[in-house]
Amino acid sequence: MKAAGWRSVGIYGCAIALCQPLAACGSADAPPAPPAPREEAKADAAAALRRDVPLVIAFGDSLYAGYRLGPRDGLAPQLQAQLLADGIRVRVQNAGVSGDTTAAGRQRLSFVLDNAKSKPALVVLGLGGNDMLRGIGPDETRANLDAMLAELDRRGIPVLLTGMVAAPNLGADYAKAFNPIFHELATKYGASLYPFILDNVVTDPSLMLDDHIHPNAKGVEVIAQGLAPLVGAALPEQ
């Protein structure tokens, strides 16, 4: 990770340490904020996609689900719009659930895959933040992520894994066990890796909600811009 990325890690770690009593990285019953105005042309282009284009599933927690954002402002719609702008025609399905731990994600992964309209060309996987906020043992987090990656590998579905980092107040031992999980599992399964999902976002208050944990619509746009080239590279040739 670049130096700027490590600064992001430190600032985000301090923020989540202060907000750790939330212990859910978002709540499913939190009231949504009014939709922010977005570029209508991008939304229209996304809506016009045929059903037979490749499917990308964004499978994660509130950072994926679009916590307190309008329906066009979450990661899935913004990533799809960015890919379309780059000339890559895919459908990105939002499979983010606020509050999900890796254990919850592991329980629902097969259901999501089995009920997809078509076999995904790629799964973007981002879980572990809520495990860390709740102080769940890194061994459990690793085991759950490993099981999900193994299932995706068994089904022949490529993966782009987005990483998270431990809050400093959890201690050096926790961080030493938690932080390497994403890189090591990405290497084990040959998955693409985006080391820290909030890199280049959490350091800018104008890109974050007032909880200092979740990105706002502009912050998600920055994340989508960072992920899009990796998604394009990870997709099988069409």
CB of 46 closer than 8 Å to CB of 78: no
Taking the CB of residue 55, how many other CB atoms lie within 10 A of it? 18
H helical segments located in the chain: 3-18, 40-47, 62-65, 75-85, 102-114, 129-134, 138-154, 172-178, 181-189, 217-234
Q: Which of 146, 153, 204, 211 is catalytic?
A: 211
Is 27 assigned a catalytic role? no
Please confirm, yes or no, whether 210 is among the known catalytic residues: no
Q: What dihedral do alpha carbons 106, 108, 109, 112 form, nearest 10°? A: -170
User: Considering 8, 61, 62, 98, which one is annotated as catalytic?
Assistant: 62
**What whole-number distance in Å separates Cα of residue 145 and Cα of residue 141?**
6
Coil, strand or helix at 117:
coil
Catalytic annotation on 212?
no
Phi/psi region, residue 158 (left: phi>0; alpha: psi -120 to 50; beta: rest), is beta
- DSSP for 48-70 reads T--TTSPEEEEEESHHHHTTT--
The set of catalytic residues is 62, 211, 214
